[in-house]
Chain A
Amino acid sequence: MKIIFSRIVSTLLLLLASSLAVFAAIRFSGGDVTAARMPASASAADRELFRKQIGLDQPILKQYITYMGNFVTGDLGNSLTSNARISSLAVEKIRNSLILGGSSLLIVFLVGVPLGMIAALRRNTWVDTGITSFSVAGMAVPNFWLALIAIHLFASTLHWLPSGGQGGFKSVILPALVLSAEGIALTVRITRSAMLENIGQDFVRTLRASGFSERRIYFKHVLRSSLLPIISLAGLRVGQVVGYALVVETIFGWPGVGQILVNAVLRRDYPVIQFFSLLLVVVVTLGNLLASIGYTLANPRLRK
């Protein structure tokens, strides 16, 4: 319990530090919206006045506190390009990204863990070779390219599924699968090697000698020990999903956080970049924290 508490405290501190870092990096680099808002002919004095009006002349720490205050009250500023209020965009984008990321995480573990177990139980057979080769290939294929192939095949040629956009259940299938490919491959790999390592442990021999059934040994005891690396992986997965969602959402035109952030970076829409990058930093940090708590709870050595 003490471990969990100290993890939460250090995560909060780091969250504070990293959000400040991200805030400062973006503000210093060009987050100064003066250039975007003022006509090119505006005089230096006018620019200075404008900066003063919106608080850009304040020290960065103060700007950060002001921003965070607004952040909490839901006042996130306006987009430079569309002039829409960011708070009105955010809810829908976040919801869409949660749908995509959530289904991807589900797919990764519902497919990856069983496949990894099958490969371990059928080790050195063609089943194992097949699953392992698939996972090596799955880790090597760039997911943006996989996305193009999937769109070309299932949407443009076969017309089975929509190529993206947001049209209910069907439209999430392709992006979610593409987003999951690398994760499935990695999960298969980690599950397989963890299962194999644990099947070789002395305690398995003890269980056999005590008359436990093979099924019980694999699915209860070996799997339980193998869950630890899988739980660590799950935490990393949250980050990976966030990262690759930037690419995959862009390709499939999935109107989520990833797409809006990439477009904002391309158009230098700094208020939008500021909010959504801070949001993703928070999500990733919390994902890591959850995984670390899960790991602690699943490991008797740490739990006690």
Chain B
Amino acid sequence: MNLLRRARKNKQLVSGSILATVIVLLGVVGPWLLGDYTDQDLLLGHLPPMTSGYLLGSDALGRDIAARVVVGIRISLIVAISVTVIAVVVGTAIGLVAGYIKGAVDSMISLVVDFIWGFPLILVAVLAAASIGSGLLPVILAVGLVNTVAIARVVRGEVLGLSEKEFVVAARAGGYSTMRILTRHLLPNIMPVVLVLSSYYVAVGIIAEASLSFVGLGAQPPLPSLGQMVSEGRNYMRLNHWESTVPGIVIFVMVLSVSLIGDGLRDLLDPRLRTAVERASSK
């Protein structure tokens, strides 16, 4: 298939997918291979990487950094992906309805959506943590809310544009039900945009979870979140910087891989962006 061949030639998509596969494998299989991440041995603290039994060294409490990192990856993935899936489903539905039905319904939805969208994710999460207490739940709620409205906004815009197109007008004239037009005619056309967006929002979710856990408002000990590991290691930067460097690099690679996938998908799937790029090469 033509799309598949183009996908294989897309460097960003290929490199992003390889990185993402490695990350997901680590998150899924790693915790099972690397043993108990809670094992402490205060005599074996601050070990550098490649010490026997401690592939990536140990932290202040003598816990295996590698074992903790893979669990951190798992938590991060679960939060980011599950939140994004929910945001995509709910956001797409809201955007479809608002964009297609228009009128007062659209005005109300848009007002609320635009307003929430104006708020930075981190602030929303801090407010959520302030009202329901620190932990993964406020992070999930905040990321979910902000990403949902972000997707709803874009989908609404797309649908507004598409509903003037001939194929939708024809479907309406042909007497198809609104439900059928929404699901059979509009949905397939906005899927590429939603797909591209959702990969960016997985990245947003990873960063948000890590940032909040870093300042102590996200995952609570003993759950080893990557952001929290960076935070715990910061006091020992001179002694053994790996304690925060390793989880930091892991977060970076995770975010990088999904953004690369997002960029790759954008070039691959969104014809308008492609033509914009191609047009740019002509005077």
Contact = CB atoms under 8 A, between A and B. Distances in A.
A–B interface present (Cβ within 8 A): yes
Interface of A: 10, 14, 18, 22, 25-26, 28-30, 123, 136-137, 139-145, 148-149, 151-152, 156, 193, 196-197, 199-201, 204-205, 208, 235-236, 239-240, 242-244, 246-247, 250-251, 261-262, 264-266, 273, 277, 280-281, 284-285, 287-288
Contact of B115 (A14, A137, A142): A14
A161 B87 CA distance: 42
A128 B228 CA distance: 36
Given A25-B131, A136-B256, A200-B279, A145 B241 contact: no
B217 A244 contact: no
- Prevailing SS type, chain B contact patch: helix
Contacts of B126: 246, 261-262, 265, 277
B127 A22 contact: yes
Interface stretch (B31-39, B117-125, B178-186): B117-125
A151 to B, nearest CB: 8
Interface in B201-253: 203, 207, 210-211, 214-217, 227, 230-231, 234, 237-238, 241, 244, 248, 251-252
12 contacts: A30-B133, A139-B259, A148-B237, A197-B279, A200-B281, A204-B283, A239-B119, A244-B122, A246-B126, A262-B217, A265-B130, A265-B134
Contact of B256 (A22, A123, A140, A273): A140
A145 B256 contact: no
B149 interface: no
Interface of B: 111, 115, 118-123, 126-127, 129-134, 203, 207, 210-211, 214-217, 227, 230-231, 234, 237-238, 241, 244, 248, 251-252, 255-256, 259-260, 263, 276-277, 279-283
Contact of B120 (A29, A145, A149, A242): A242
Contact of B129 (A239, A247, A265): A265
A138 to B, nearest CB: 11
A29 B130 CA distance: 8
B118 A284 contact: yes
Contacts of B283: 199, 204-205, 208
Contacts, number: 143
B110 to A, nearest CB: 10
Contact of A142 (B119, B207, B237, B263): B207
Q: Which of B126, B203, B216, B251 has the most CB of A within 10 A?
A: B126
Given A137-B256, A140-B203, A205-B283, A242 B130 contact: no
Given A152-B241, A205-B283, A239-B120, A277 B130 contact: yes
A145 B282 contact: no
Given A14-B115, A139-B203, 19 more contacts: A29-B133, A136-B263, A141-B252, A144-B214, A144-B215, A148-B230, A149-B248, A196-B276, A200-B279, A200-B281, A200-B282, A239-B119, A239-B123, A242-B120, A243-B120, A261-B126, A262-B217, A273-B130, A285-B115
Contacts of B214: 142, 144, 247
A264 B207 CA distance: 22
A207 B251 CA distance: 47
Contacts of A239: 118-120, 123
B252 A29 contact: no
Given A14-B115, A140-B256, A193-B276, A280 B251 contact: no
A242 B215 contact: no
Nearest to A29: B131
Contact of B118 (A152, A251, A266, A285): A285
Given A144-B230, A277-B130, A196 B277 contact: yes
B280 A243 contact: no
Given A136-B263, A246-B126, A246-B215, A196 B119 contact: no
B251 A142 contact: yes
B123 A243 contact: yes
A244 B277 CA distance: 32
Contacts of A250: 215
Contacts of A266: 134, 216-217
A7 B241 CA distance: 50
A224 B163 CA distance: 31
Contact of A196 (B120, B230, B280): B280
Contact of A145 (B122, B131, B248): B248
A140 B280 contact: no
Contacts of B256: 136-137, 140
A302 to B, nearest CB: 16
A208 B283 CA distance: 9
B131 to A, nearest CB: 4
